[in-house]
Structure 1
Amino acid sequence: MFALVLLAGLVVGVRALIYDSGLADVEQVEVVGTLTLDPATVLAAAAVERGTPLAAVDTRAVAERVAAIPEVAKVEITRDWIHTVTITVTERVAVALAETPEGLTLVDDTGVPFRPAPEVPPALPRLVFGAVGPDDPVTRAALQVLDALPESVRVETRTIDVAAPTVTSVAPSVLLGLSHDRLVRWGPPDRSVYKAAVLVPLLTQKGTVYDVTSPELPTVRR
């Protein structure tokens, strides 16, 4: 019985020390991992009040608020005892451009349009089909192909178009627009690594249309 009373008193004492004494209150909120995003934007979204007991900080709620920033791909919130909350963010990286109701927009590798493109857009491929989004199978097909392209082909890629599946075609069909008015008929996004390997030597030949839909029998149309 005495042991239980002693234990209860210890718990109350520890709680008072952590929550009520001010010895373990938040004095600093650090933002780590920002590259283009203003840390002040992250701090404002996190809304962690200094003077709050560190143990009382709802890290899940803070993470949800920071994750709502369009440029944030991932976020981790940690308590660094005894006075610091650290917010580690991973920013979205643009891999393509797309026209949205808000204008030309940067798109990351998961298909999320996350920020208006600058006045002088980066030299990235443009997704020229309909609405772009992470849950859209057409978007996923385009990005799967883009991810498979070697850098030598990626820098030459100007547009990516995708025909949605039809009754006769169960998979999306991808069409790449390259520099110098060249087209690449990619077909479905399956076997993209193999198709990319076939395409590289194929592009050394003069032509206007390069077809790797069937990579075992690629063709070049002049």
Structure 2
Amino acid sequence: MKPPPRPRPRIHRPGLNEDDRQALITPEEEAEDRAKPEPRAEAERSPAPITQLAARAKETLRRDHSPVTSLNRVRDERRRAVWHARKRYAYWAAAAIVLIAALVWGAFFSPLFALTTIKVKTEGPEVSESAVTAVLEPYRGTPLPRLSTGDMRAAVEALTVVETVQVARSWPKEVIVTVNGREAVAAQQLADSGEFELLDAHGVVLGKRGEAPEGIPVISVGGEEHLRGALIQDVLTTLGALPDVVRSRLSSAAIDGDGLMSFTLDNSARVIWGGSNDIELKSRVLQVLLTQEAKVYDVSAPRTPVTK
């Protein structure tokens, strides 16, 4: 929208009145005057003076570089940095908690590591793998990290025929049980039933047989009744210390009230053992003497043995 026409400027010339001055304005001057914007509108559309812009910029620069403004800006940046750091730590902590919870559940409560296989290794004729497996059956299905090998070992050791037990986890779902069984070193005939009790070197009863077991000496004990327990233990300790090749040749073992022992071999030869001292030395000497044919092997004095 064009601005309204301006009134013609007055031309002041000496000696001319108003009508003469109006007559002197040409049409070109009048059109040129109309094309010019009014001073107020021109002032409104023109930019601010350069001096004012420079002053504003200077004031802004001064305000931004003032100590108070710089300190506030540093504080704001530090607060934002701390907030972002805490946010990152919170995310990482939440992820770690979720991961740990998943690992704990997978290891201790899921069927991923549940016990499915019980492998039994036995040493000793009296130990039965089926008996050991039956004792450990309640532990099947338990995750291996929660499995108490001490409890499993105690459960197997409760079996009479077991002497030592080792239990080891075999990941991911297996347990290996190594059992050393007690070995019968002697048999004792019961007076009331006539059966034979199998005894190990510690006097533990491993079982009963209706007949005298082959390869295991039958013991007989003399002396007074109150000494029988100690005498039996002496003879069992001695028999347990003998090498298998020697003990397997014994058919009987006897001990009198004074603690003196004698053995009978499978060929009816006799071994005079003596007391329960120097067991290892007597065992070595007897093993050497048995390479010779004799009716009597006397190792009661092992440094001066005698054969007859």
TM-score w.r.t. the length of structure 1 is 0.70
Match in the other structure for 1:186: 273
Distance, in Å, in 2 between the alignment partners of 1:156 and 1:91 is 22
Between the aligned partners of 1:70 and 1:25, the Cα distance in structure 2 is 29
Distance 1:149 1:125 in 2: 12
Question: CA separation in 2, counterparts of 1:91 and 1:21?
Answer: 35
Specify the alignment match of 1:53 in structure 2. Answer: 143
1:21 & 1:205 partners in 2: Cα distance? 69
Alpha carbons 1:176, 1:186 under 8 Å: kept: yes
Whole-angstrom distance in 2 between the partners of 1:140 and 1:78: 34
Q: Structure 1's 124 and 178: CA in aligned 2 closer, same or farther, altered over 3 A?
A: same
157, 168, 182: which one aligns with 1:78:
168
Alignment match, 2:107: 18
Percent identity of equivalent pairs: 25
- Partner in structure 1 of residue 67 of structure 2: none
CA distance, structure 2, for counterparts of residue 149 and residue 40 of structure 1: 30
Q: Deviations over 1:143-200 (max 9, x none)?
A: 44335656675454222223466xxxxxx43222345665433222222344342682
CA contact under 8 A between 1:26 and 1:49: conserved in structure 2?
A: yes
1:25 to partner: Cα distance: 1.5
Deviation readout 1:9-45 (Å, 9 max, x if unpaired): 5543321111223222122222223666443321221
**Which residue of structure 2 lines up, in the alignment, with residue 168 of structure 1?**
none
CA distance in 2, matches of 1:5, 1:23: 25
Corresponding residue of 1:159: 252
Larger Rg: 2
What's the C-alpha RMSD, in Å, of the aligned pairs?
3.7
Query: Does the 8 Å CA contact 1:48/1:62 hold for their aligned counterparts?
Result: no
Report the equivalent of 2:82: none
Residue aligned with 2:138, SS: coil
**How many Å separate the matches in 2 of 1:88 and 1:32?**
5
Letter in 2 for 1:213: S
- The size of the alignment, in residue pairs, is 208
Which of the numbers 143, 159, 177 marks the counterpart of 1:87? 177
Q: Residue 185 and residue 202 in structure 1: after superposition, are their counterparts in 2 closer, same or farther (change >3 A)?
A: farther
Residue aligned with 1:51, SS = coil
Worse-superposed segment, 144-153 or 69-78: 144-153
Give the superposition deviation at 1:46.
Answer: 1.5
Distance 1:82 1:201 in 2: 52
Gaps (5+ residues) in structure 1?
Answer: 131-135, 166-171
Output the CA distance in 1 between the equivalents of 2:196 and 2:253: 15
Counterparts in 2 of 1:108 and 1:57: CA distance versus 1, 3 Å:
same
Asked whether the equivalents of residues 31 and 42 of structure 1 are also in contact (C-alpha less than 8 Å), the reply is yes
Distance 1:26 1:117, change over 3 A: same
What CA distance in whole angstroms lies between the structure 2 residues aligned with 1:97 and 1:154? Answer: 12
User: Does the Cα contact within 8 Å between 1:129 and 1:161 map onto a contact in 2?
Assistant: yes
Higher helix share: 2
- Counterpart contact for 2:201–2:239, Cα < 8 Å: no
